[in-house]
Every structure is written in C-alpha cells, then in structure tokens.
Amino acid sequence: MILASLAMFGLYRLAHRYDQTVTREELLDPDARRSRTDLDGPLNFLLIGTDRWRSSSATADRRSDTILIVHVPAGGREAFLMSVPRDLRVIIPAAPGFGGGEDKINAAYQHGGGGESGTRLLSATLAQLTGIRFDGAAKVDFSGFRDVIDHLGGVRICVDTQFRSIHTDRVFTPGCQEMDGGTALDFARQRYDLPNGDYDRQTHQQQLLRAILQRTSETSIRTNPVRLDQVIRAVGNSLTVDTNGVPLADLVLTLRDLPADSLRGIRLPSYPLTVDEVSYVVLEEGGAGIFTAIQNQRVPQWARANPRWVTQL
C-alpha cells in the first residue's frame, strides 16, 4: 500500500510538473461541452489531428486531417476509438463569416477559421450530428508527434497489405515492423493505393495511437528519467487541450490503468456516395445505433453485436 501510494503520488507530481508544457484553449463549443465537476462514470473526448506539417504557411493549420471520438466506459479499463471520415456529409452550424450549410465534416474546421475557433465549430457539428457531449478535447500537431515517436525509440506496427506512399514513394510491406517517427506518420497519412481508401487510413491512425500507448507503457520508458522527460516535453509541445475545467493531473490519474491492448477501433457505420460529382461519405441511418450506445453507456455491448464495424488493432 505504501509503495502504491508513493507511485500514485509520483505520477501526480509528474503530471502536475508538465501541466505547463501543454497549451490550453477553449476547443469545445458550449453546445458540445458536458457539464461536470469530476471524472466519475464514462468519458467522451474529441481528438483532432491537424496537418500543419504540410506547410509552414499561416493557412496550413486549416484542415482537420484526423477526427476521433474517444469513448472510455466507466472504470477506465478500456477505450473505443471511433474515427469520423473526413468526407462525412454533415450540416455545419453557422459561425462568424460562415452562414452554415451542408459540407464535408473536415470543412467545419476550415469554416471556423482553424485553430481554436475551428475546433469549436467542428465540435458543435459533431454534437449536433451525434447528440454526444464531450468531457474534453485535444488538438494534436502530428509533425510534433514525429519527435514523440523518435524519443520513444520508434513504435511497432503491423502492416496488413502492401502499398506505396504517394508522399515519400516508400513501399510498406505486410508484416510487423519497427517504425521511426517519420515512417510511422507516413504510414498513418496514406489513403491512396489502399483497398478501402480512407477507411484503411482511419484504421492505420488507430493502430498508430495504440502503438504509441504500447511503447509508453513499457518499463524501459517509465524507468528512464531522461527519455521520459524528452517524451513528455515532446507531447506537451505537440498538444493543445481543453480538459473541461478538470486538472490535467487528475485526468492522467484517471486514465493511468488504461492498457494498450484495451483499445478498440470502431469504423463509423457509413458508406461512400457521389452527389453532384462530389465524393462524400454518408452516415447509415442513426449511425447504426452507435451514438445511442455511447449515450446509454452500452458501447461494449454494441461492439459485440456489430463486429463488422469493429477494427482489429
């Protein structure tokens, strides 16, 4: 009990120490924010990955390359990563300089002006579509996560099908392999030359998050203070968060027992559709019940009943 208490105290102090390295913004729209004062019960988080690495221009941070809804059932022992297709056809609410209307969901970030305001409009769009309210949000600069992966010593990812990257001309061959930061991000960015296009890219992004969590949980990282310091600082430099008023240290403690093998990938029930020569992804009626399952705290049961939408990580 004494050792456990000391370990928990050390984790809390560590999280508190690096609290200042993370940028804080109001990423959630008021209509997308769940009002609560603690972390008891199920949790819903919005994770946005931006593509600032593509350019150094002032407008580079105007596209949300990755949109994930992370659902953690009560107890914090497993988590479901639900990827939202970038081309999902939605109704985007009005915002300053934008009158609202139908568009692809990744355009919500752009219509909102990118950054803090863009994320708020995106969160409002998702809340309107799904009925889900969020306990927090994070915006990730994936160019910075290249450094995180390199400080971790790389990550192990299993490639299921051969494809060539259009970004680097690198060929990914089937099999489990160690990847450095640049290779892993290239793997997660690719959507062309894949059997299922953007759906496969969503799975690869989920695999990358699992691989990062797996590597950070290894004893060699946790017991090496230099590498741990490098990793946490790199994460802090790449992350903008909205913890909904909850101290970051409390959030870290709540999720400390989440093992990498407890992550479950979910493909949002949807299908591709061309409308007026524009390619969209269209949501199945009611999202095939996934949004209701999140609201009613029955996602594990939904996943068992709908294996076709569960991806293997």
pLDDT band at 10 (very low <50, low <70, confident <90, very high): very low
Measure CA of the first residue to CA of the last residue in the chain; give whole Å: 35
Total Cβ atoms within 10 A of residue 278 = 11
The residue segments making up the domain with residue 287 are 2-311
Q: Are 256 and 262 in contact (CB under 8 A)?
A: no
What CATH number did the domain enclosing 77 receive?
A: 3.40.630.190
pTM of the model: 0.84
What would the two tokens of residue 258 be?
């989440």
Report the Cα 12 to chain-centroid distance in Å. 23
Q: Please count the CA atoms within 13 angstroms of the CA of 237 that sit on its side-chain side.
A: 12
> Across residues 172-182, what is the average pLDDT?
93
Q: Report which of 218, 209, 213 is spatially closest to residue 187, judged by C-alpha positions.
A: 209
Counting the structural domains of the chain, the total is: 1
Q: Is the pLDDT of residue 151 over 50?
A: yes
Q: How far is CA 284 from CA 89, 198, 290, in A?
A: 11, 17, 10
What average pLDDT does this structure show over 212-229?
A: 69
Q: Which helix (H) or strand (E) holds 271?
A: strand 270-275
Nearest alpha-carbon partner for 115 in 139, 137, 87:
139
Residue 173 gets which letter from DSSP? -
Sign of CA dihedral 173, 176, 178, 179: positive
Q: What does the alpha-carbon distance between residue 189 and residue 205 come to, in Å, rounded to a whole number?
A: 8
User: Phi, psi at residue 52, to the nearest 5°?
Assistant: -65, -20
Tell me the pLDDT band of 64, cut-offs 50, 70 and 90.
Answer: low
* Model confidence pLDDT, tens digit, residues 24-43: 889 999 999 988 767 778 89
Extended strands (E) in 2-130: 23-24, 43-50, 64-72, 79-83, 89-92, 101-104
Reported as a single tens digit per residue, the pLDDT across 87-142 is 999 999 999 989 999 999 989 998 998 888 999 999 999 999 999 999 999 888 87
